[in-house]
Structure 1
């Protein structure tokens, strides 16, 4: 494994509650943050760090991803929990962060919305389905 491991949204929330240095990094696009919603960390006295892994609208990999993490003031010894829609982009982000020196880079494997169900709805798993705090708009 080229990153610290996979965690569920509930495990990520527990880690954020227990460790004030832990950071939730949402790697989805600006459009997703605006129209789908964001995890709400206000009860923890924090905000989600937003750094796109792929740019909207063309889907190109953000070649400044690591630079943007560093520019946000994230220290190399802080635990990072990467979140996307379903756990695919966040896995790639966790691998990139690990390669850049953030040893505690975790993938939130179910993502914000989770995988599709039989009706092609995202209702099986994920941050929202787990009932964790989130906001929209």
Structure 2
């Protein structure tokens, strides 16, 4: 529940389901909430074949990983006049993006604009494998979805 008692619209989809939603719904938007360093060194989702681009806004700031107090405002600034039908949030493994999804759902509910906010489960790199590495077990990259180095 949000602070005003309204039900927050937060869901979760697999990376493949998220990509399908983005392909089927031109008003849906993908927000990558990782850090600038992650975008630069690990890569980013590539929505070019859908004729779209990802919105990049840091949820937490490197190096102390403090929550960005202007996250919602920065996201809205980058979207401009666009009114997405769905917000999809992605991070490294799905934890930070859930926090971002909840914050945006709460904000939208309080402003009278409840829009589904969806966490991309597994994130961009996914969970650690037995060797302690990410990127091969699950996640956007391991599922074979389009990505590129930025």
Q: How does 1:1-137 map to 2 (within 5 A)?
A: 2-73=8-79, 75=82, 77-101=84-108, 102-122=114-134, 123-137=136-150
TM-score by length of 2: 0.86
Aligned length: 137
TM-fit CA distance, 1:103: 2.6
- The unaligned stretches of length 5 or more in structure 2 are 2-7, 109-113
Match of 2:5 in 1: none
- Residues 15 and 22 of structure 1 are in contact (CA less than 8 Å); yes or no, is this contact kept in structure 2? yes
- Residues 86 and 116 of structure 2 are in contact (CA less than 8 Å); yes or no, is this contact kept in structure 1? yes
Q: Which runs of 4+ in 1 moved over 3 A?
A: 74-77
Q: What is the distance in 2 between the residues matched to 1:60 and 1:124? A: 28
Work out which of the two has the higher radius of gyration on C-alpha atoms and give 1 or 2.
2
SS at match of 1:58: coil
- The unaligned stretches of length 5 or more in structure 1 are none
Aligned-pair Cα RMSD in Å: 1.5
TM-fit CA distance, 1:77: 5.0
TM-fit CA distance, 1:76: 5.2
